[in-house]
Every structure is written in C-alpha cells, then in structure tokens.
Amino acid sequence: MSKELSHNKVRRYGMVIDLDKCTGCGACMVACMAENNVPFKEDESNKRDSITWMKVYKLTNGKPFPNTEICYLPRPCQHCEGHDGHSPCVSVCPATATDYNSETGIVSQIYTRCFGCRYCMAACPYHARYFNWWDPVWPDGMEKYLSPNVSPRMRGVVEKCSFCFHRYQLAKDKAYYEGRSEVREDEYQTACTQACPAGAITFGDLNNPLHAVHQMVKPDLKHAGRPKSPNAFRLLERLGTNPKVYYLSDREWVRRAGDNYMADTKNHLEPKEH
Amino acid sequence: MKVDRRKFLSFVVGGAAGTALSPLPWKLVDDSSIWSQNWPWTPVPEDGEVSYEPTTCSLCPGGCGIIVRKIKDRVVKIEGIKGHPVNDGGICILGLAGLQLLYGPTRVKTPLKREGARGSGKWRKISWADAISEVAGQLNSLRSSDKADTIGCIGGSDRGVTPNLLKRLTSACGSNNFFRTPSMQDSYETALQLMHGKKAMAGFDFENADFILSFGSGILDGWGSPVRMFKANSNWKTNKTPVIQIEPRLSNTAAKADQWLPVNPGTEADLAFSLINIIIEKGLYDSNFVNNYSLGFADLKQLVKDKYKPAKIAQATGLKSSDIEKLALKFADARRPLAICGSGQGHTPGSLKTFVAVHALNALTGRVNSKGGVWAVEEPDYIKWPEVQKDKPAVKGLAQARIDGAKSKYPLSQYLLNQLPDAVNSESKASLQALLIADANPFYTMPDNKAAQEAFNKIPFIVSFSSYMDETATNADLILPNHIYLERFEDIPTATGFAGPFIGLSRPIVKPQFNTQALGDSLISIVRTMGGTVAASFPWADYKTCLVQTLGSKWPALSKKGYWVDSRFMVPGWTEGFKTASQKFNFSNKDLMMVYNSRPIIPEGSDSFPLLLLPYDSIRLANGYIGDPPFVIKTVADTVLKGKKSFVEINPITAKKYKLKQGSTAILSTPKGQAQVKVHLFEGLMPGLIAMPRGLGHTAYDNYLAGKGINFNELIGTQADPVSGQDAAWGIKAKIARA
Amino acid sequence: MSSLDEKDNAVPADSNAQASLPNDTSKDKMDEKENETSGFIIFFFIIGLVASLIAGWVIFPKLLYSKKDQPINFNHLLHMAEVDDGCQSCHFLRTDGSFSGIPGLKQCIGCHDEIQGESKDEAIFVEEYVQKGREVPWLIYSRQQDCVFFSHAAHIKGDGMDCVTCHGHIGESEQTRVYEENRITGLSRDIWGKSISGFNANSWERMKMNDCAKCHKEAIGKASSVQTGKEGCFVCHK
C-alpha cells in the first residue's frame, strides 16, 4: 500500500463493550489510571472531583427483591463524531485544546493548551471529562511509576480518556520501523481492553470490516454509525452525538437505560438529526 | 540641561517603542506561557529504553502471570501475560495497582524495633544484624528454658519454599504451633481428605463444565483465582453455559448469573442435601460411579431421605419446593454440571457440612475425577527436605499438642488459627511467648477482632515480616521487612482452584527499593545465629540456593518460562483416582456421618438483635493480607464509602421498618460490638438482612486507606464448626437504629 | 503638543520662566527654548529607543539564558570517522521503533572500557564515568517540553528525512557547544533558536510548534483536525 493511500485512509477507532460479560470488577478503571498517570487523592469518595477517565456505572432495573437486576456499564470518553467531527466538546472549546481528528476519529485533549474554562465539561453529555481542581501529588517515591508516554497534568486543566492514543503513536513508530504503513488491529489496543479479565471490551477500527468491532456492531454509516446489530446500542443515541463506543446487551431494560429518552427500543427510532 | 517631564515622557515613549521593536516582550510572553504549562512541581517522567519482564503475581494465591513494563530501571506498568495458563492476558484490579505497593508509602523501609507502647507507632531503625540476633536470642532463650512449644508462627500459606522454611523453623525450634491463615481451602482439604483420601487442594475444571451451581461462591467477586474465574465466566456466556447463584444478596456474581436463587443464609448445605435427595429419588444419579467406584451411598441415601424432604427444605431455604425440584433436575440433566461452594472470596473456611454436601452432589452425578468436574490436586512434591534435627528442648516441645486443638481435639484439621485467641485468653499465663508472623495480617483479618487483639497483646514477643506497615506490623515488637513480590524470588505452587499441578515463579524484576530482605534469607540468618540443631536443620547457604536446590529439575523450566505445569497430568479418573482405604470414593463413613449429622451453625446473638448481619466481598476491596492501594480504593462506589464513613446495605422494606433512609447515619450493633454506619438502600438484599463489605476499617497502611469505614471483623464473632473446629460463622445477629 | 505647551506656560508656578524674564520678551525666548527642547525631546526619544533596543536585543538574551558546559567535551567529527553507519551508529531507532537518543554508558563501553587515545576529555570520561559506572549527564540541546511527542521513526523512516534538517551539522562538530538554558522555561535555547528574533535562516535553527506545523500543514497537506484545519493535535502531543 502506498504511503499516500495510507495517509488518506480514514480510520474510526471505536470500542464495543459487552455489558453481559462485564462484571463490574473495576480492572479497566485501574488499568486506565495506571496507564495514563491519573492522579489520586486521599479521599476519592466525592465522585464529582474524582478523576476516572474510565468509570464503571452501576445500573439497576429498579424492581424490588427478588426481581432486582444489576448491570455495570463502563464509560470511557465516547469519542463522539457528531456531524463531521463537531462533537459536543470540540465545538465549544475556545482554546482549541480539544479537537476531533478525522484521521483516527479520536477526540484529543491537549493539557498545555487548555485554560480550564470547563465549557467542554458542560457540553459533554456523558460526564466523561474531569477537571483538575488540585495539582496532582504523588507520595514520595511513587512518581517512579509514572509513564513517560503520557504527560502528567497540572492544576486547572481538563482531562479525559484518549483511547490510549500514545499506544497508537508507539504502534505507528514500530510500524514505521518495520516499513509498514498500517497499524495492525492487535498492535493498538487500549489499556482497559487489554486488562479486562472478562474480555468484555473490544477495540479497533469501526471502518475496517476485518476488525472485530466492526463485525460486532455493524455500524450503519448512512445513519451516523448507528449499530445494525440488534443487541448493540449507544448511549443517548438520540442526541446525535454519534459516539464511537457501542454497548451490547441482550437485556432490554439495559438497552433502554442506555437512552433516557428512548421510548421504544424495539422499533429502533431514527436518531434525531441536528 | 534639565530632565523635565516632557523629556522623561519622550524617553519613556522611545523606550516603549524600542521595547516593542525588540524581542523582549514577545519572548517573555511566550516563555511565561510555556512556564505556566510546566510547573516545576509537576513531575516529568523520564523516558528511556523499554523492557518487559515476566513474573508471577503473588498478591493473592491466584497465581496469575504478569509482565511488567520497565523504562530503564523503573517499573511503569503491570499487565497480564497473554497465553499464561491461569490468566491468559487478563489481570485483576489489585494486580494492576501493584506498583502503588512497590513505590508506595506503606512500605516498611528498614528493620524496626518498637519504642514505647505497642501500636504507638514509635520505632527505632536497627540494623539487619541486630534484628536477626534479637529474634534468634529470644527464640533461643525460650528453647533453653524448655518453653520451645510456646513459639508460634503464622504464615499466609503452607505451600512453597518460604512458607515451609517458616514451618520448618517452628518445628526445628521444637514447636508444633505453625498456623496458616484460614480460608475455604481448609474445608475443601478436609472434605477431600475424607472423601478422596488425599491431602490435596480442590481443582475445578470450569472450562469444561456446562452447568455451574454456585452455593454462594463469589465467582466474580474474587473467589479462587479471580482472573481465571472472570475468563471462565465469559466463556460460559459465549457457550450459553447456565450459571446459578445461590445466596441471599444480589452480588456481582448473582447479577451476572443466569439465575439468582436467594436462599435464607446458612441453608446452603440443606439445599445441597435436598438436591441429592431428589436426584437419588428420581434415579438421576450416575449409577456406574455410585455402584462401582464409591462406598457408603446407602447411608447417605437414607440420611437425605429422612432429613431433607423438599417441603421441609423449601421452608428452611425460603425457596419453593417446585423450584428446588426443578433445580435438581436441571443439575442432573446437564452433561457436565459442577457445584461449588466457599462463600464470597472464600476467606472463611465455613461449615464443613456445606463442603461435603456440595462435593457429594458432584460425586453423585459422576462429576468427581472426570472432565468438567472437580478433583483433588496434590501439591507438586518438590519439597523433599530431610527431617528436622532435634535436640532435647525440641523433642520435648514437639511432644506437646498444638495449642489450637488441631490434630487433637479436632483431628480432621491441621491448623485452627481461629481457636488461638481463646486458647491464649483462657490461660492466665500466655501459652505463646513468641509469635512470628509472615504474609498474614491477623490483627486485621481475624474475626472477633477484639478478642484476637487481646490474645496477641498477651504474647510478649511478636515479630512481623511484613513488607507493609499493616495492623500486625504496627502492633509488633520487631519488624523484619520482606522484599515485596516484585523484588524477590518465590515459588507459588498450585493456583487456587487450578485443575492441575502448577508452579508459578515470582522473580525480582526490580532492585529492592529499600533496606529489606527476602523472608527466606531472614529465616536462614535467624537459624544460623541460633546455632545448634536448629541451624543444622537448614543446610542451605541462603534462600536462593535453597530454592534452586529444592526445585531441582523444575528450576530451569521455571526460571525460563516463569511457570511450570505438569504436562503429564491427566484427569484422575475413577479407577485409580481415590486414595481411600478401599480405593473408592467415600459417600459416607464414620467421620462423614459425624459431619452430615452435625448441628447447623446458628448465628450468635439473642432475640434482642432482630436482624442478621452478613459480610459481602467485593473484588474492589482487598480484605486479606494486602489492603487496597490508592487506585483500588478510588474505585469504591460512594454508596459503599463516603469520606470516612462506610455504608451497610439494607432492603428498603427493612429500612422503612427502622425509619432509615438512603444515606441515614445509623448505629449498628451486634453481640460483638457496635459501629456508626451509613445506610444504603439496596433492593437486591433479602429483607431482614444487613450486608456490610469486608476490607474497610483499616487502622494501618497509608492515609489513602486507614481510617475509612468499619472493619467487619470487629462486629462478627467466631463459631467453631462442630467437627472441623474451623470458623464457620457466616453472620451474626444485629440491630440497627437511627443515630 | 502645542496646546499642552501653552497650558504649561500658563502655569504660574513655572518659576524659571516667570522670575527671570519679563512677559513680552518671553515669547521669543520661549520659541528658542522650544526648539531646543523639542530637539532634546527627540534626543531623549532616541536614547529611550536605543537603550531599550539594546536591552531587548543584547542584554535580555544574556539575562534570559544561563550557560552550562557539557560534562565532557565531545568530538562528533572524530567519532564519525570511526563508525560505519554515520549518525545511526550511536543514535539509532530501537526495534520497537523508539529512538535511542544519546547513547548510554552501555554503548560507549563497547570501545571505551579503557582509555583509547590521548584526549583529556576521554580520560575524564573513562575515569569519572566508565569506571564509576555513572551515566554522563548530557545536556540535550533538542529536548522538547513534556507535552510533545516526537517520533523519529515517522520522520526518518516514514518521510525519509535526514538528521541535518532538524539537527544541523552537529555531526561535524569538534567541540560541544555551550548549552544555554532558558531561565523561565527551563528549555534549551535551541528550541527558540539562536536568534532571539525568532528568525531562522536554516531549518534546524528553531523547533517551535509553528516550525513543526509548517511541514505538517504544507508538506503533507493533511487536514485531519476539525478545529484548525491542520494536522491533528494528537499527532505531536501526548
């Protein structure tokens, strides 16, 4: 494949999370924190200021004992494409600190560019963005485990899941070294995908029919990537954010919970166009 | 010439124009913005060559293969090894946070000797030589005053080279009082001893089973080898293997199971016997196995027929008798059903009756020693050390019975740490004079915690070998810190529940960060200093030599690959798989009948405690020897822990009765103590129960963990199983009121 | 200006003018003085201008950068003559595609386990570093700040660029240059460039984001960033 061709090729990296396999163990959360130099404080029980790029939510069907059911829902940044890359956060950022990359489909966040206005946090319907209210502090000696591939953040900036973009950068380096122009599916996997002991997370290029993610959800590109697979859904589909994280569940109440506004999942209502 | 205002202004204007035409302002703006993006106190991780080194995680007995990512000599990430027989690339939440233990503030950085009262946190740094000679001196003086049997040791395990060195040190000194941290392994071992005639661990062939019946086992909450269980569960989902979870609380396991059967707590054994009864009555058992490869079937048949009629059990368990029957039929109809027990993470041994009942259920359907079933996995027999050498004090000491009643009052049990507090507290003079503790944190993990602490405080000399400043180290007289698992060699024989003989090898993948020493080396130095027969019982120059020699022919493969699996191992089968006197499986014998007929464990407490308090385990709350590192405690939900307060779960119906709302502060009391808690309304808990997480309420470790929530062990007592003597308490009566 | 002057004159407190001169003659004298003063005003303007230009162009750079010598004076030219593979003999891509950067002791020991020649610098290197097993704390001229991800593999292998384009003719140097560190940012002067004006005659003289963007916008012509119409931020940032 020629270099030009590879440059022009549009990838849309995305994730499929099988909620029937997810056990809510939280390994993805810690894998993410360890991979991305996410800071921690003595008290992290105020979840509004607790930075968790990947956060596992607990959903219940609201029925009384013994008909109660629980489902866990891991929520990374959804890397919304919106229309033509105008994802909710990107369109409001006054500092060009967050951006949609149409080559990979990844919503980037450049910490040194961010000046902390938090418009993006207000705009994000998934609460996937976190603000550094404090400077990160690692106990003496613990800064030794920090990874050089992800820049530690400072007080006053917003941060979020990057789909472990640095892993893509490293995989590309290796590909360049070996004279390849393409990164293989298994070469670029996020830390949460790799760690998940239940194998509930799948990651890859949604545009590539050979990639597992594509085969699992069959995104309908004519309809803003809406999944064709019957058990697949996206969070708040109707907002038209066009996210690249898909969820699978064979339980209807779970699929319904994925969109608060969804009256009927069976008929697969047309997502509202903005 | 005078400089007037006009000239000055003109100078200023000229200066301003010049400045604007010079790079100064523009460069300063640029530089200060760069400066503001890179505060000097924000660390900049150093880059360098990346390397990957494989090892085995030993934070739990799961035996997962891990690979660490290093930048020069810094370890920056822990990941699972793809293709490893236990975890195949997966890794659990605790294993991922291991680097926070390695580099964290909880490490004991050098040998410490207590100054001031126990637990006061006042320590003096001492040299290794002094620390070793202090321990050796104390042990020698006990031996020379004929009190060798008052030396006790608590280890996290009794498998592998290091635990056996500790055990050997105990016997070489002349004491039988080596204790192992209790767990469901104790009960499984006893059950296998009685039914298979083997001293072994239970190995489960989950990957080949096609129907899973779990009597309260937290398959997805940290039971067994956690990552393997997660993987197995995902395979069951793919293969449509039904999983049925029996427990009164909608745990993560129950939530992911195909069917959740909430039974009244403590009735698991009844349900198992009732299933046996139905299967026998309907003639659905494996008659080939029962007739040709087992003994004592008739007695069991009679027993279940008499005592476990469905109607009666329906009432006891709270299930419909038709549901019990359906369950029995489903189990018997499945091609390879498998029943397991050991509640939650299996950190308490539990009632032996449940274990033998569940094992008998497996046997009845031919699921022992066959594919997709359960069998006895003997420890790889590489530890073939000669008998210890005994001098007079040793001979005398070894003639004394263990103080916990194991092997004497309770002949079926090897270790009964739960009986230790009573044994120590009931005597006026301490029956233990010295206690060495390694890879265990009994000050935190032991139920009836107050009594346990009281007992420990009566023991005049306590040595901790902990790598971390845990509760036990905090209350010790001397700490000889061990390297942590990423800094030392260690063999990990047989991952919990693994279906075949297996040895994993932990190896140093990073230089020791502090002035610590491998436990094996500390023990060898201690005996060396003690001299005499004790020293002579340890013919190794150092720990590494001992390890390499002991592993012998297995060492090269182990050190190359990181693990060893017995490639010749085959499913034991029925013909030669049992080592009982008859070479057959025992459905019953004298001991088993005693277990079958033993009284049920009724929770402690009078009628003034109308509710039942149960513990629950979460994979996000490490509750054994290791406490939660910062990342892991960070993931705990705010309905479990908020600030310093922990929550108990209560069904809204029960809560209403006691006028409790979501988030109410309440006083929870049990016969063992009381605590202020917050209330979380949870529909998934059976009414009448209160559920409380294990793993909180630490008083030691770092500020990220200490002082958060309540330690469940302070509220529960112990209840000895009538036959095994192991702790079988599964709950305690309780009351709750608004604070 | 003039209205201001008149106002000035009208102020009775202007003691010099009023005390010594009668009112009618004062006007001429004043004009004379005016010319003289405006001459001085320009003079002062020029003084101010020149002084600040000197301060900005000459003194400021001197104050802004601190100078540090490399721990050892390294002779690139000499080494280039000894090795077979040019720059890549010592500064190579590792097999995972990452760039090795400045060689560590491990590589140098290959030749320098003992003193080879008569250079004083080599003697220091062997005695102070090799024998003591200490890494040399080289000062890196081209080190970017932490938020930058730079892929040597992409530029060398992917785009076939040579070392000189960004690093200049360092391979022909016989002396190590003085390392100048920006006192505010802590970065090397080479990032902004030797010229304080930010003007660069050669491609290697400056490595600010705009310099990267120049190629990333023009040469490659990719516009994957929705916000900027240039190449995406995550290409060079981490």
Q: What is the pLDDT of residues B474-504, one digit of tens each?
A: 999 999 999 999 999 999 997 889 999 999 9
Are B428 and B458 a contacting pair, CB within 8 Å? no
CA distance B716 to B604: 9
CA distance B643 to B451: 28
Q: Secondary structure of B519-571 in the HEC alphabet?
A: HHHHHHHHHHHHCHHHHHCCCCCCHHHHHHHHHCCHHHHHHHHCEEECCCCCC
CB distance from A186 to chain B under 8 Å? no
The DSSP H or E segment spanning C162 is none
Query: Total domain count for chain C?
Result: 2
Residues of C in contact with B45 (CB under 8 A): 146
Which of A24, A35, A65 is facing B77, going by the closest CB pair?
A35
Taking only Cα atoms into account, the Rg of chain A, rounded to an integer number of angstroms, comes to 19
User: Any idea what the Cα angle at residue A162 is, between residues A159 and A168, rounded to 5°?
Assistant: 145
Q: Which residue of B has its CA nearest to C51?
A: B15
Residues in chain B: 739
Query: Which has the closest alpha carbon to B468: B498, B433, B440?
Result: B440
* pLDDT for the residue A265: 46
CA dihedral for C105, C110, C116, C119, sign (positive or negative): negative
Classify strands B461-464 and B478-479 as parallel, antiparallel or unpaired: parallel
In-domain check, residue C76:
no
| CA–CA min distance A166, chain C (Å) | 6
Q: Is the peptide bond before B460 cis (omega within 30 degrees of 0)?
A: no
The residue type of A170 is L
The DSSP H or E segment spanning B492 is strand B490-493
In-domain check, residue A265:
no
Least confident of B341-345, B637-641, C158-162: C158-162
- Neighbors of chain B by Cβ distance (3+ pairs < 8 Å): A, C
What is the token pair recorded at B442?
């009994």
* pLDDT for the residue A85: 87
3-state secondary structure at position B424: helix
User: Any idea what the Cα angle at residue C12 is, between residues C10 and C13, rounded to 5°?
Assistant: 125
Domain of residue C56, residue span: 24-68
In-domain check, residue C154:
yes
The DSSP H or E segment spanning A232 is strand A232-233
CA distance B602 to B181: 24
Query: Total domain count for chain A?
Result: 1
Domain of residue A37, residue span: 3-257
Are B44 and C146 a contacting pair, CB within 8 Å? yes
Beta bridge partners of B203: B375
User: Mean pLDDT for chain B?
Assistant: 95
The DSSP H or E segment spanning B128 is helix B128-144
In-domain check, residue C100:
no
* pLDDT for the residue C11: 45
**Across chain B, which distance is largest between two alpha carbons, in Å?**
127
Beta-carbon separation of C96 and B50 below 8 A = yes
The residue type of B315 is Q
CB distance from A70 to chain B under 8 Å? yes
CA distance A35 to A58: 23
Beta-carbon separation of A142 and B48 below 8 A = no
pLDDT over 90 percentage in chain B = 94
Residues of C in contact with B22 (CB under 8 A): 52-53, 55-57, 60
User: Is this structure's pTM higher than 0.95?
Assistant: no
What is the token pair recorded at B660?
């409790």
CA distance B626 to B471: 11
Residues of B in contact with A21 (CB under 8 A): 233-234, 237
The residue type of B691 is A
In-domain check, residue A126:
yes
**Selected residue of A42, A63, A170 to mutate for chain B interface (largest B Cβ count, 10 A):** A42
* pLDDT for the residue B312: 93
Token pair 């001197």: residue: C62
User: Other C-beta atoms within 10 Å of C27: how many?
Assistant: 11
| CA–CA min distance C183, chain B (Å) | 9
Q: How confident is the model at residue B294 (pLDDT cuts 50, 70, 90)?
A: very high
What is the token pair recorded at B528?
């060396």
Ramachandran class of B214: left when φ > 0, alpha when ψ lies in -120 to 50, beta otherwise? beta
CA distance B227 to B694: 20
In-domain check, residue C95:
no
Angstrom CA distances, B588 to B161, B194, B295, B340, B359, stand at 35, 9, 7, 19, 12
Is there a single domain that holds both residue C144 and residue C232? yes
CA dihedral for B270, B273, B279, B285, sign (positive or negative): positive
Are B612 and B690 a contacting pair, CB within 8 Å? yes
CB distance from A48 to chain B under 8 Å? no
Query: Which has the closest alpha carbon to A11: A103, A73, A93, A125?
Result: A103
Residues of A in contact with C149 (CB under 8 A): 149, 166, 169
Beta strands in A110-208 (DSSP E): 130-131, 158-159, 201-205
Are A201 and A213 a contacting pair, CB within 8 Å? no
Alpha helices in B174-267 (DSSP H): 184-196, 226-239, 252-256
pLDDT tens-digit map of B575-634: 999 999 999 999 999 999 999 999 999 999 999 999 999 999 999 999 999 999 999 999
Chain B contacts to C (CB-CB under 8 A): 1, 3-4, 6-8, 10-19, 21-28, 30-32, 34-35, 37-38, 40, 44-45, 47, 49-50
Beta-carbon separation of B22 and C55 below 8 A = yes
- End-to-end alpha-carbon separation of chain C, Å? 56
Tens-digit pLDDT profile for chain A (274 aa)?
Answer: 333 334 446 899 999 999 999 999 999 999 999 999 999 999 999 999 999 999 999 999 989 999 999 999 999 999 999 988 899 999 999 999 999 998 899 999 999 999 999 999 999 999 999 999 999 999 999 999 999 999 999 999 999 999 999 999 999 999 999 999 889 999 999 999 999 999 999 999 999 999 999 999 999 888 888 899 999 999 999 899 999 999 999 999 999 998 865 555 444 444 443 3
CA C107 to the chain's CA centroid: 30
Are B682 and B691 a contacting pair, CB within 8 Å? yes
In-domain check, residue C1:
no
B414: Cβ–Cβ under 8 A, 6 or more apart, which residues?
B158, B180, B186, B189, B406, B407
User: Other C-beta atoms within 10 Å of C81: how many?
Assistant: 8
* pLDDT for the residue C34: 64
Least confident of A256-260, B136-140, C22-26: C22-26
Query: Which has the closest alpha carbon to A206: A226, A192, A190, A191?
Result: A226
Which of B71, B90, B227 is facing A148, going by the closest CB pair?
B71
For chain A, positions 101-140, list CB contacts with chain B under 8 A.
111-112, 135-136, 138-140
pLDDT over 70 percentage in chain C = 82
In-domain check, residue A102:
yes
In-domain check, residue C58:
yes
* pLDDT for the residue C220: 59
**Selected residue of A173, A187, A242 to mutate for chain C interface (largest C Cβ count, 10 A):** A173
In-domain check, residue C106:
no
Q: Which residues of A88-109 are buried (b: 16+ CB within 10 A; e: fewer)?
A: bbbbbbeeebbbbbbbbbbbbb
Helix axes B321-333, B310-317, angle to 10 degrees: 110
3-state secondary structure at position A255: helix
CA distance C129 to C135: 6
In-domain check, residue A247:
yes
* pLDDT for the residue A264: 52
User: Any idea what the Cα angle at residue C54 is, between residues C48 and C58, rounded to 5°?
Assistant: 160
In-domain check, residue A39:
yes
Q: Is the peptide bond before A66 cis (omega within 30 degrees of 0)?
A: yes
The DSSP H or E segment spanning B456 is helix B449-458
| Contacts A–B by Cβ distance under 8 A | 189
CA distance B588 to B710: 42
pLDDT at C10 over 50: no
Q: How confident is the model at residue B120 (pLDDT cuts 50, 70, 90)?
A: very high
* pLDDT for the residue A261: 52
3-state secondary structure at position B137: helix
Residue B69 — φ and ψ, nearest 5°? -100, 125
In-domain check, residue C35:
yes
Beta-carbon separation of C96 and A101 below 8 A = no
- Neighbors of chain C by Cβ distance (3+ pairs < 8 Å): A, B
**Selected residue of B70, B76, B250, B509 to mutate for chain A interface (largest A Cβ count, 10 A):** B76
In-domain check, residue A148:
yes
Are B62 and B496 a contacting pair, CB within 8 Å? yes
State the CATH number of the domain containing residue A232.
3.30.70.20
Beta bridge partners of B492: B504
CA distance C238 to B43: 15
Residues of C in contact with B19 (CB under 8 A): 52, 55-56
Beta-carbon separation of A66 and B262 below 8 A = yes
CB distance from A107 to chain C under 8 Å? no
What is the token pair recorded at B177?
């009082």
Q: Residue C137, class by beta-carbon neighbours within 10 Å (0-12 exposed, 13-18 middle, 19+ buried)?
A: exposed
